[in-house]
Amino acid sequence: MNTQVDMKQREVVLVEDAHVRPMMGLDVLESLPAWGIPYALVDPYILVHEGVMPITPEWASQDTEHPHRGFDNLWYVIAGSASTGHSTGPDGTMERARLHAGSLLKIRTGRGVRHAEGIGQDEVREGKSGEMRSVLFWVNLARKDKNVAPTAQVIDPQDVPVRREGDAVVRVLVGEGSQVELGTPGLILDVELPHGGAFSSPISPDFNGFAYLLEGKASFGANRSRASRAQIALLGPGDGLTVVDAVPGTRFLLMAGKPYGEAPIYNGPYVD
C-alpha cells in the first residue's frame, strides 16, 4: 500500500530589502543582519553580504587583511575571479586560493584566523584585471566549537553538485552531495531559472530558512509573496518551499539550517 505524505508548504513571513553598507572601502548589499529580522528566525546564519570587488593594481595593493573567529566564513563567487590569502597554513602561515565563478571558499575561523589577504594580487601579477561579484555568509558555530583550529576548504566549480529540477538549475553548496559541512545540519542552494517558471524543494521542518534574490523576481511560499532583486524572503515553519511565476533569468540563494538556540555575542569581527 502506498502512503502519500503531503509537505506543509512554508509561507513567507517577511520580505525586506537589503541595505547598503560600507565594507573594506566598498558598498555592499547587506541582507543579514537586518533590523526587522530577529536572529532567532535565521539562526545559524549571522550575516549575508553581496558585493562587487574590483581586481585592479590599486585594489590589490590595499591592506584588506583582517581577523575573525567563532564562525564559518563562506565566500561564494557569482561572476569573475580573484585570488586571496588566509592564515590556515602550518603555524598560521598564509596560504592562497584562486577562486573562479562557481567556486566556494569555506574558512572555519574557529579560535582565530586572518583572511582576505592580497585580494586579486595573483591576477594583477599576471596582467589581468576586472571585477568579481560574490556573496559572503557568516554561519555561527556552537559555543563548544568556537575554539577549534582554523581550517580552509576550496570547492572548485566542477566539484559543486549540479542538477536539473524541472525549470531550475540547482547548485548544491551545502546539502546532499556537497563536500561542505557546517557546524550544524544545513542547506544552501543556488537556484537559477533561466527561462522562468517554478521550483520546489523540501526543507527539514526543524530548519530556519530564507531566500535571497540575486536576479529577477518570483513568488515564494504558500502565500506567493513576491520578492525581487536584492530582497530577502524570510520563511515560516513547514517542510517545503514552492517558488512560482519566476521571470526569465531569476536566480536566488535558498539558505536553511538547524538553529543552535545560542545567542551570538558580537565583538567586532569576532562572534563568541
Q: Which residues contact 5 (CB under 8 A, 6 or more apart)?
A: none
Of 51, 52, 60, which Cα lies nearest the Cα of 128? 60
180 φ, ψ to 5°? -95, 130
pLDDT in tens, 90-135: 999 999 999 999 999 999 999 999 999 899 999 999 999 999 999 9
| Average pLDDT value over all residues in the chain | 95
Residue in the block written with cell 543579514: 32
- pLDDT tens for 216-254 read 999 999 999 999 999 999 999 999 999 999 999 999 999
| DSSP per residue, 176-190 | TT-S---SS-EEEEE
Task: Report the C-alpha gap between 204 and 209 in whole angstroms.
Answer: 9
Provide the pLDDT confidence category of residue 1 given band limits of 50, 70 and 90: very low
Q: With pLDDT > 70 as the criterion, what percentage of the chain qualifies? A: 98
Is residue 201 over pLDDT 80? yes
Q: pLDDT at position 24, please?
A: 87
Instruction: Look at residue 6 and tell me whether its pLDDT is greater than 90.
Output: no
Tell me the mean pLDDT in the region 71-83.
97
